[in-house]
């Protein structure tokens, strides 16, 4: 195919740069807005094409040098080659464009992105892929578009320093591990009280392998607990150390001690704890809760928001479909001596229907759904007659869809605040306030 020359206009959700060739939209990985590039077309679709960069004729002034030596090969980060202010600008633009297309939300209702204090070294949870073939141990991330492991020999620049320390120790221990060829993944979580590691492997775990890992417990550096999960085991097996990982969330009153929240090994928690605290402050600001209000926290997880917010409202009901997360939520409720929360383990749509059938109503609903959004729950949510909805989203397209659905029930977007939970990537977290007309 012949080469085409184009200037990259903007960035798209998914990470690619966008330009036009012969009037057709073209998506270009690892390009930067303002780049003048020569392109090799890699695929032609009816309404768009994709291309790879053959050469950068005139680099954008937004370009910067990536900190990771395997950036571009590793399938993790997308935007390390773009300076941070430009990343923030384009994330806001993506959210604004998506909300306008999907729900006709005016761009002036979208705030600037709340930046992260640290653009690297921020992730407190990571899953590293493992491959041990022909005596060579590789620990890192899948290459772009493949299941081949790109070896992150020097660690991951966006990982918290403690995670990289533990990863280096794991690498040394696994080099002589009897079942090294069966290991597929390392999950490493760093909390306020330590670092937990889960070794995932295929097949059964032999007694020889258990003895090896237990015997090398002193060689895992700052790791405070080691677990193993084989694909023939239903549960994660503890080998040694602590079973608890915890972090803190602030109360509205700065004179009160923060709440301490835990989650189980392998359980869900936000990957960027500093921005998790920021997100709670945004929820507080938009929600403007009062002591007489009754709050529903849908997709509540381990009580990440329910527990600190309980002190500001009359009552909280939390609904979560994952039983492990609900057990953690109940534990966190007792740990922090919170009396005005009720947690229920149920699918969101089913749990909402139950509340509707009981004749319950709520002043406010806080929802933090997975990427698929809250579509199945929308009709039930509005039947609870909340005056305001605070929607935490990790996917602009499903947020836009749900805001469009909610507008049909009389709820309008008042303000949307994007928060940069994932610097160096295209991912966008946001908190959106909708109020009933």
Angle at 326 between CA 270 and CA 260, to 5 degrees: 55
What's the rounded Cα separation, in Å, for the pair 272 and 410?
34
Beta strand segments in 176-215, E: 183-191, 194-201
β pairing state of 259-263 and 294-298 = unpaired
CA-based nearest residue to 149, from 38, 56, 70, 79: 70
- Asked whether 75 and 142 are in contact (CB, 8 A), the reply is yes
List residues with catalytic annotation: 394
Structure tokens at 428: 């966008």
Collapsing DSSP to helix, strand or coil, 129 comes out as strand
- Asked whether 120 and 274 are in contact (CB, 8 A), the reply is no
What's the rounded Cα separation, in Å, for the pair 268 and 329?
12
What's the rounded Cα separation, in Å, for the pair 413 and 130?
44
What's the rounded Cα separation, in Å, for the pair 65 and 74?
16
Burial 52-70 (b: 16+ CB within 10 A, else e): ebeeeeeebebbbebebeb
Sheet with 364-367, edge to edge strand ranges: 341-345, 315-320, 294-298, 364-367, 388-393, 429-436, 411-419
């Amino acid at each position: 195919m012949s080469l085409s020359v184009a200037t990259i206009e903007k960035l798209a959700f998914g990470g690619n740069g966008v330009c036009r060739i012969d009037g057709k939209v073209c998506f270009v990985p690892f390009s930067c807005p303002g780049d003048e590039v020569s392109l090799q077309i890699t695929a032609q679709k009816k309404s768009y094409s994709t291309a790879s960069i053959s050469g950068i004729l005139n680099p954008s002034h937004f370009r910067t040098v990536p900190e990771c030596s395997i950036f571009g090969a590793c399938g993790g980060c997308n935007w390390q080659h773009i300076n941070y202010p430009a990343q923030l600008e384009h994330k806001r633009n993506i959210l604004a464009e998506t909300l306008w297309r999907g729900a006709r939300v005016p761009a002036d209702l979208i705030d600037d992105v709340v930046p992260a204090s640290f653009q690297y070294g921020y992730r407190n949870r990571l899953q590293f892929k493992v491959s041990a073939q022909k005596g060579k141990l590789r620990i890192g991330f899948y290459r772009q578009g493949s299941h081949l492991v790109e070896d992150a020999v020097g660690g991951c620049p966006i990982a918290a320093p403690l995670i990289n320390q533990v990863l280096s120790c794991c690498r040394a221990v696994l080099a002589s591990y009897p079942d090294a060829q069966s290991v597929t993944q390392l999950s490493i979580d760093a909390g306020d009280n330590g670092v937990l590691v889960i070794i995932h492997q295929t097949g059964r775990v032999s007694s020889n392998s258990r003895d090896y890992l237990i015997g090398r417990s002193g060689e895992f550096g700052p790791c405070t607990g080691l677990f193993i999960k084989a694909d023939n085991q239903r549960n994660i097996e503890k080998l040694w150390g602590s079973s608890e990982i915890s972090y803190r969330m602030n109360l509205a009153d700065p004179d009160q001690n923060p709440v301490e929240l835990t989650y189980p090994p392998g359980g869900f928690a936000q990957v960027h704890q500093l921005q998790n605290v920021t997100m709670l402050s945004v929820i507080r600001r938009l929600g403007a809760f009062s002591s007489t209000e009754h709050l529903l926290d849908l997709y509540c997880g381990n009580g990440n928001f329910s527990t600190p917010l309980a002190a500001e409202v009359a009552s909280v009901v939390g609904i979560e479909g994952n039983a492990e997360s609900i057990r953690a939520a109940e534990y966190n409720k007792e740990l922090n001596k919170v009396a005005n929360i009720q947690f229920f383990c149920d699918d969101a749509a089913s749990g909402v229907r139950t509340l509707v059938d009981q004749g319950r109503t709520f002043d406010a609903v806080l929802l933090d759904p997975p990427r698929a959004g809250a579509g199945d729950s929308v009709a039930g949510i509005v039947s609870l007659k909340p005056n305001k909805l605070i929607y935490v989203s990790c996917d602009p397209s499903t947020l836009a869809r749900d805001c469009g659905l909610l507008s049909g029930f009389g709820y309008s977007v008042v303000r949307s605040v994007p928060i940069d939970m994932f610097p160096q990537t295209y991912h966008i977290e946001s908190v959106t306030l909708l109020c009933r007309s």
